[in-house]
Structure 1
Amino acid sequence: MAEVKIGNYLTLEDFCNCTNTYKKYSQQIESYPKNLEVTIPALEALARFILDPIIERFSHEKFKLTYGFCSPSLRKYLDKKDINTGVKNGRIDPQRDQHMAGEVKINGRYYCDRLGAACDFQIVDTNSDRVVEWILRSQLPFDSMYYYGEDRPIHISYGPQHKRDIWTFGEKGQPTKKGLENWLELVKRYSPQTREI
């Protein structure tokens, strides 16, 4: 597929080919979207409203996309276990996490009815909690943000709901708001509706 620019700094290839699972099985995975009329605008909105401002603040050189768009083909490989280690290649919750953007199943229904798009990223040499705090203070209109730890990537999505939900995860991978009290207060204080600065 010819290079398609997504936002000011990223390409469709960046979104489709960044995961370790894709790199491991690239010969077997068709990583690009099929429902271009819905998926490309969703990725462009994610870049425009969320990722471009983050890159402009922390620099393109330090921005590292670790998980972008998930095609149905990539999804199958994420669900499989590595034959050498027996460990599952990755995690995906297509009904909620928005990584599949506007892709549709054989029956014509969206994988994720929430639409929008999501990615996971890190800022090299910067703790993720510092990045989360900047996102909240900057009032970026995210839909969901998942915090996995100060040295782990951040999951962020942009979609029509603009929920500004922020989650962390317990030891068994269950979503929780435990330990996020200060950030949840920032979400309220710096939401576009309150206009507090």
Structure 2
Amino acid sequence: MSSSDCIFIVGSVTLRRIEASVQSVAWPESWTRSTLPRRRDVADLPDLHELASEHFTYADLCHCSETWRRTGIENAPQALETYRAISELCENVLEPVEAEFGSITLTYGFAGPNLTRKVHGRIAPRLDQHAGHERRVSGEFICPRLGQAADFRVPGVSSIVVARFLVTTVPFDRLYLYGTDRPLHVSIGPQHARAIFEMRKSGTRLIPRGLKAANFSVSD
């Protein structure tokens, strides 16, 4: 018997002992396979160039940011629920805006981990809903608020006017205003909070000021 055969036999015995030990371990329920989030097969997910609504594709929301145009980095959702949220945002928020004001300019939509790592400036993935229903490696949602968000503006129309239309016409979760000529941020989500904030500059920081939908009145 050669030395290599001896190594193989010893290795096999050792492997069987390890397997027997593993089978006898009472693993915590939280570690079982059934409790871990399953990654859907890519075949289950829509193509980015499919329509999310009548006039918007999923790619419109995934490939609209300056960072994506600069890098071309992969930025496709991996959760079917994110695609559904994008579709809901397009159908219930973006389509009505286009019907009222004409074509919009999207500046930031879905942002997966690959994209957010490339973004220059301050962002808040845990709060801003741009990650949709995507999860971290740990299984936790990137943004527990879920839903989906988009930043956009309507060329030639004050963002305050657009915001008033949103507040009085469409369902939304959160709405952030940054100025009359700046893109606004709007999201849909399971909380349906209808929370409205005007972001005011204080030194180098932006401070949110809550606005009430019932008496939403910010001068143009």
Query: Structure 2 CA distance, aligned partners of 1:18 and 1:91?
Result: 18
Hey, what does 1:176 align to over in structure 2?
208
Partner of 1:3: 49
Q: In the aligned structure 1, how far is the partner of 2:48 from the partner of 2:81?
A: 18
CA distance in 1, matches of 2:81, 2:122: 24
Q: Cα offset for 1:189?
A: 5.9
Partner residue of 2:180? 150
Match of 1:166 in 2: 196
Residue aligning to 1:71? 112
Task: Provide the secondary structure at the position in 2 that maps to 1:92.
Answer: coil
Shift of 1:156: 0.1
Deviation at 1:123, TM superposition (A): 0.3
Structure 2 partner of 1:101: 132
One-letter amino acid matched to 2:166: I
Give the conservation status (yes or no) of the 8 Å contact 2:75–2:111. yes
Q: What is the match of residue 55 of structure 1?
A: 98
One-letter amino acid matched to 1:67: Y
* Corresponding residue number in structure 1 for 2:70: 24
Aligned letter for 1:25?
T
Give yes or no for contact 1:67–1:119 (8 Å, CA) kept in 2: yes
Quick check: 1:44 aligned with 2:87?
A: yes
* 164 and 173 in structure 1: CA distance in 2 versus 1, 3 angstrom threshold: farther
Asked if 2 retains the 8 angstrom alpha-carbon contact of 1:21 and 1:90, the reply is no
What residue identity is the alignment partner of 2:208?
Answer: T
TM-score of the superposed pair, with normalisation by structure 2: 0.72
For residues 148-182 of structure 1, give each alpha carbon's deviation from its aligned partner in whole angstroms, at most 9, with x where no partner exists.
Answer: 0000001000011111111122323344216x4xx
Asked which structure has the greater RCO (Cα within 8 Å, sep 6+), the reply is 1
Larger radius of gyration: 2
Partners of 2:48 and 2:58 within 8 A in 1: no
Distance in 2, Cα, partners of 1:42 & 1:90:
26
Q: How many angstroms apart in 2 are the aligned matches of 1:2 and 1:66?
A: 17
1:86-129 superposed Cα distances (whole Å, 9 cap, x missing partner): xxx24321111100001110001110111100000100111111
Unaligned 5+ runs, structure 1: 79-88, 191-197
Q: Which segments of 5 or more consecutive residues in structure 2 lack a partner in the other structure?
A: 1-46
**Runs of 4+ that moved beyond 3 A:** 172-175
Per the alignment, in what secondary structure is the counterpart of residue 66 of structure 1? strand
